[in-house]
């Protein structure tokens, strides 16, 4: 019995990477009975007579999973947001960050198209970058046109499974092309799906970049907070978590309660006003969510 990682799922076959070789496997019927579907990214045990005929015997416990695209055991999400064209969108970035924090996935923020930033826009973009770095996020500034900053992303891939996410039209496929020029066809596939939220991609594959794996379809195409409970939301804002010990009430929601350390930090300017305002709007969105039966 061997162990490996599923790197591709296609037409009922699972392609398992084990000790440098890829085995084409089918799932056992027992998975259907247990209502377990093997996913790309799963660590599995399998048996195979050769590289074309194998069977997955067991799927090991997952640390997380996404529905769209169907992938498991993601280490990090590369969030690509352009400085301009389209304009930097902190409200959408904060929405992505909440969804990623809730899944215990490490976010890395990449601000693209930095070569297009003019003198008028530059202070605003630099302030956003400073704000997110102060929270504790890694923020990289890149331009695929000049290749500035592109190489700085490579070390993040090593030993990790990554998904790309972000706005449509921000240069995610260009960034992947810059990192691996031989992926021209695959990045066409990526750009077709990124940021649309309309497509259900049945074929998911992990591609090797920088000593790690990157999903060839975008993560977080559904951006609703359907799975996030109200009490979970403050935990998805690291700067709130860092201050929550100073709140008078345990389980403080940082909205209406008196003597709230988070609201005090917001009032004093230690927490950027847009971050707190986005949080409050997310609270309202979750409160207004229709219950699922």
> Known binding site: residues?
112-115, 166-174, 247, 252, 254, 260
Neighbours of 262 (CB within 10 A): 26
- Return d(Cα 204, Cα 195) in angstroms, integer: 16
Closest to 203 (Cα-Cα) out of 71, 8, 5, 25: 8
Per-residue b or e along 139-162, where b marks 16 or more CB atoms closer than 10 Å to that residue's CB:
bbbbbbeeeebbeebeebbeebbb
Strand locations in the chain (E): 2-10, 13-18, 21-27, 43-48, 54-59, 65-66, 71-72, 76-82, 106-112, 138-141, 161-166, 204-209, 212-215
**SS3 call for 134:** helix
Binding residues for Zn(2+): 247, 252, 254, 260
Binding residues for GTP: 112-115, 166-174
């Amino acid at each position: 019995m061997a162990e490996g990682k599923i790197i591709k799922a296609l037409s009922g076959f699972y392609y398992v990477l084990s000790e440098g070789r890829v085995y084409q496997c089918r799932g056992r019927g027992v998975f259907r009975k247990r209502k377990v579907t093997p996913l790309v990214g799963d660590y599995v045990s399998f048996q195979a007579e050769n590289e074309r005929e194998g069977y997955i015997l067991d799927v090991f416990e997952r640390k997380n999973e996404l529905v769209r695209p169907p992938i498991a055991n993601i280490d990090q999400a590369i969030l690509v947001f352009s400085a301009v064209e389209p304009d930097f969108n902190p409200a959408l970035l904060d929405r992505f960050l909440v969804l990623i924090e809730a899944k215990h996935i490490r976010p890395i923020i990449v601000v693209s198209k930095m070569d297009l930033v003019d003198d008028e826009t530059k202070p605003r973009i630099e302030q956003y970058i400073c704000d997110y770095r102060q929270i504790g996020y890694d923020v990289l500034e890149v331009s695929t046109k000049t290749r500035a900053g592109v190489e700085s992303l490579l070390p993040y891939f090593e030993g990790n499974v990554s998904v790309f996410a972000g706005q449509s039209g921000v240069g995610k496929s260009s960034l992947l092309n810059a990192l691996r020029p031989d992926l021209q066809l695959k990045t066409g596939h990526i750009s077709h799906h990124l940021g649309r939220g309309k497509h259900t991609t049945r074929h998911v594959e992990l591609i090797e970049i920088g000593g790690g794996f990157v999903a060839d379809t975008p993560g977080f195409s559904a951006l609703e907070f359907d799975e996030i409970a109200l009490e979970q939301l403050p935990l998805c804002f690291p700067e709130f978590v860092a201050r929550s010990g100073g709140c008078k009430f345990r389980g403080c929601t940082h909205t209406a309660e008196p003597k709230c350390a988070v609201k005090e930090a917001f009032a004093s300017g230690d927490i950027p006003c847009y971050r707190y305002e986005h949080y409050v709007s997310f609270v309202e969105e979750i409160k207004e969510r229709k219950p699922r039966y």
